[in-house]
Chains A and B, each alone.
Chain A
Amino acid sequence: MSAVGSKLSMPFQLSGILLVIGLCIEAISLFWIHPLAFLAFFVLGGLFLGAGVLLYLSSIIIHGSPPHSDDSNSN
């Protein structure tokens, strides 16, 4: 996983944000027993979680072996 300074590179940051949103949607949907809660979890939550995980996996494949923090600091 590439880190620029103390921050992750852009695809990993985006992946993390998508995952946090997806997990928050899942958590909120669990407070409500209603078909709309299921729909929100399945469609919205699934979309964000799926996109976040896929973006993470594709970033690992594209970036190959993650550089050390020293390498990334030199960027």
Chain B
Amino acid sequence: MPGPTAILFVLLSTTIILLVVLLARGSLTATPAGKILAFLAFFALPMLCGFWGLNEHLERSKQTAFCLSCHIMEPYGRSLYADDPMYIPAAHFQNHRIPAEEACYTCHTDYAMYGTIRVKLHGLRHIYMQYFGTPMDPIHLYDPYNNRECLHCHAGARSFENATHMALLDQIKANQLSCASSGCHDTIHNAGSINKVKIWRAQE
């Protein structure tokens, strides 16, 4: 069964062909049926293609390849292959605890109401800074990493509900104790020194 992108391409091609035919044979629009056809070709189908295309691009922007296509993100992408289980992003990525195709988005989205819109606006800012501004050096998060993003998956999991976590659960939920910077799970990307770390190569 063809995927949504293939269907979108068919729709785009159909709309373009319809427009070209109507541009070449304007007399087709003289009849009521022709006027409906023109409305479809000049308004309804382009609008549909536009919104579908926007949705397609937004979905693609979740892909790991999309995030790592900017040069500045290369060390962060490399850190996903660190051959060290202490590296939290690498352990999640290599063991498929998160979807490998959407690794960056899964951990760096905002699991709050309107969080998706917020991260998309951040994404537009990143594009602006990449091509028209000066990216921050070193790059860092806008806000300290929120435990909510960890608990989105881990809360309720058997592996998470051990004595240590349960004793600290209130503090973790209230963000008073960060999962990432409290001496517990604090080896994150370490992009600055990633070239000194052994890199894991996936078996084909």
Contacts and interface: CB of A to CB of B under 8 A. Distances in A.
A42 B41 CA distance: 21
Given A17-B23, A33-B66, A1 B57 contact: no
Contacts of B60: 33, 38
B117 interface: no
A40 to B, nearest CB: 10
B8 A49 contact: no
Given A27-B9, A35-B127, A53-B42, A3 B26 contact: yes
A interface secondary structure, majority: helix
Contacts of B41: 16
Contacts, number: 116
Given A30-B5, A33-B69, A35-B130, A13 B23 contact: yes
Interface stretch (B12-20, B82-90, B162-170, B189-197): B12-20
A26 B22 contact: no
B interface secondary structure, majority: helix
A37 B57 contact: yes
Contacts of B35: 1, 66
Interface string A3-29: 111111100110111011011101101
A34 B53 contact: no
Contacts of B27: 3, 5-6, 69
Interface of A: 1, 3-9, 12-13, 15-17, 19-20, 22-24, 26-27, 29-30, 33-39, 41-42, 45-46, 49, 52-53, 56-57, 66, 68-69, 72
